[in-house]
Amino acid sequence: MVVDNSGMSIQLSNGVTMPPIGLGTYPVYGEAMCKMIVDGWDSGYRMIDTSDNYYNEEDLGVALSRLYEARNAKRGDLFLVTKISDELYPVNQPGAGTNRGIFFWKSSPMMQSPTAVHDIISRKIERSLRSLNTEYIDLLLVHRPYPDYIHEIWAEFERFYKQGVVKAIGVSNYHARNIEALSSCEVLPMVNQIEVSPLNTRKSLIEYCRSQGIKVMVFAPIMTLRTVRDSAYHDMLQGLSKKYDRTPAQVLLRWNVQQGLIPIPKSTQRSRLEENIAIFDFSLEDDDMSLIDSFNENRQYVVESKACPGF
């Protein structure tokens, strides 16, 4: 089954268009990555999301090469998203377990050069381009707000954006106050990728992003299906699943897109890939959207977001 969502693209503030749903890649590597990318293409996915600290950009690059050969696909058919991250200290090294990264904090020995941010961001982008076997990145995100260098990092993003190496730039795990810190910059973020779920609807942050012309992407959009033990929550989803003759995952993903959000589900199973993208031929009623919203507890699940510097 191939789902055609080409007529439902999302337009960013700079005019760049992107698909309304993407394919997550963490934690997928090797042959599993190759199979997932080809199966994802066959299912209709045209946007793929990764990050430098998923440590699978090279695997994705290999998978893309196989896709181009196997399906006569071209680089221009795809929308590639990656992120610039700090890197945690390896186990058994000083700093391990502190959640403090190697680079982006003032006292780091790696940041003593006046050109440190420029040098690090440049190396990371060059490595991503090389690993992904591409001359450009469609969307580059700052993986977290790093308060000590929030302006310097963004200035480097602006530089690569102006050079055309990156077609759009954005942030991830940013709160309104982190975005406001960039208000004096030349180019505002075009995307903010965050955690959103019925248990954590993030309404105020979503509305703030909309007011700034920032699109909201959602990572791990169906994670609550396996992490939440609340029987009332699952009963609600099962009820809606029966009402619409859709799976609970499809109900959650439809809840995302109906708010104008861009979900990034992940699966290595072809049947699930096909299921997750088949959400553009039905709509949830307003009362059911409100019912899902009513489960909000402002409950944050993803550890990465909880541990976010500047949280």
pLDDT per residue over 288-301, tens digit each?
999 999 999 998 76
Q: Could you read off the pLDDT of 27-36 as tens digits, one per residue?
A: 999 999 999 9
Domain count of the fold of the chain? 1
Q: What are phi and psi of 222, to 5 degrees?
A: -115, 20
pLDDT for res 6 = 46
User: What is the value of pTM for the model shown?
Assistant: 0.94
Query: Is the model's pLDDT at 99 over the cut of 70?
Result: no
Report the distance separating Cα 279 and Cα 46, nearest Å.
Answer: 15
Catalytic residue from among 26, 29, 45, 54: 54
One-letter amino acid at 118 equals H
CATH number of the domain residue 272 falls in:
3.20.20.100
The verdict on residue 258 lying in a domain is yes
Within-domain flag for 42: yes
215 within a domain of the structure (yes/no): yes
Residues with Cβ < 8 Å from 209, sequence gap 6 or more? 179, 192, 215, 216
pLDDT surpasses 80 at 25: yes
Residue count of the chain, please give it.
311
pLDDT tens, residue by residue, 156-174: 999 999 999 999 999 999 9
136 part of the active site: no
Q: How far apart are CA 304 and CA 53, in angstroms?
A: 12
Is the residue at 311 inside a domain?
Answer: no
Q: Specify the pLDDT at position 311.
A: 46
The phi and psi torsions of 42 (rounded to 5 degrees) equal: -60, -30
Give me the numbers of helices (H) and strands (E) for the chain, helices first please. Answer: 12, 10
Q: Judge whether 91 lies within some domain.
A: yes
Q: Which domain holds residue 247?
A: 6-306
Establish if 1 belongs to a structural domain.
Answer: no
Query: What pLDDT score was predicted for residue 299?
Result: 83
